[in-house]
Structure 1
Amino acid sequence: MFGRLFARDYQSWQLPEFNIMDAHHLVQAVQERPAFIRADDVLGGAGTEGRYVFFESSRDALFVFRFPLTNFMNVYVHERGSDGLFGRDDGIKAASVSVSGYKPEEHDVTYVECGWWIDHLNGLFRYLIDVSSQEHSGQLSDDHYAYLRRLEQASAAKENDLADMFRR
């Protein structure tokens, strides 16, 4: 009786394609890797401490990572408008990541809105988890992540151009 009361139905696109118990690597990677550009001065929004941007050059889009709480992250997708610029507050909420400080089994990654970005986020998240765990173990490999490494380098190179990419 109570099992059905609290049951939640998920659609296939809402399920992450990686081990959710490794989600703490995502928060750490976004805050530490140079590809995620700190953008507090460019992006507005009350109550949001950290704002990090990852430029996805293959889709000409931005993934904006906002941290309203220490162990909670929202991911927004910003697509370039017809004027060639990104809007500051017109992103689509794509995912939320919640990390438990005590129990890895209580970590949660939820995709909120279905779109082309689901595959991109799954790939980016898998990459960040794998690279982070390889860096901590000292075993880096250059196998099937060469494309994502190039995307990460391209994103970091946009740091000086970030303010000009947004509407004023």
Structure 2
Amino acid sequence: MASEVQIVQGDITTQQVDAVVNAANSSLLGGGGVDGAIHAAAGPELLEACRALRAGSLPDGLPVGQAVATPGFGLPARWIIHTVGPNRHAGQSDPALLESCFRRSLEVADELNARSVALPAISAGIFGWDPEAVARIAFATVADYDGGVRQIRFVLFSALLVEVFRHAHRDSRD
């Protein structure tokens, strides 16, 4: 059964879904944009959980294109799936890295038995990726996805991003 895809303008930290995807930095210790908003809304327990990951299985941080989960803490979502998008300004321009972020996030959601996931426009902000490229890669990845997540909601912070994603979604179905 195919997943239902939604595209909405809003605040990812308020979404009533099983899991939200955090466009994290590799340190997992917070940052700006989506990462900062999620850390602020989830509360200090999230930082402690991320520090525990760094002290344990991820001493060098989370690699680009990979994903890991923590509880949602103060968010309505039960889980936060952290993924590190490629940074074009740092020379990370391989589309496979961005595809891996979306794919690995959905795979981690499957491992958690999450049925609904909210995703941001990974790498489309400070990491310098063209929003149209991000949207095309996101929808190509979703089209190839065949797991247990039944609702995939792209939660975008601006009307411009919503329009870019809606256009890419239409094109992906043609």
Q: Taking structure 1 as the reference length, what is the TM-score of the superposition? A: 0.36
Higher relative contact order (CA 8 A, sep 6+): 2
Larger Rg: 1 or 2?
1
User: Which structure has greater helix proportion?
Assistant: 2
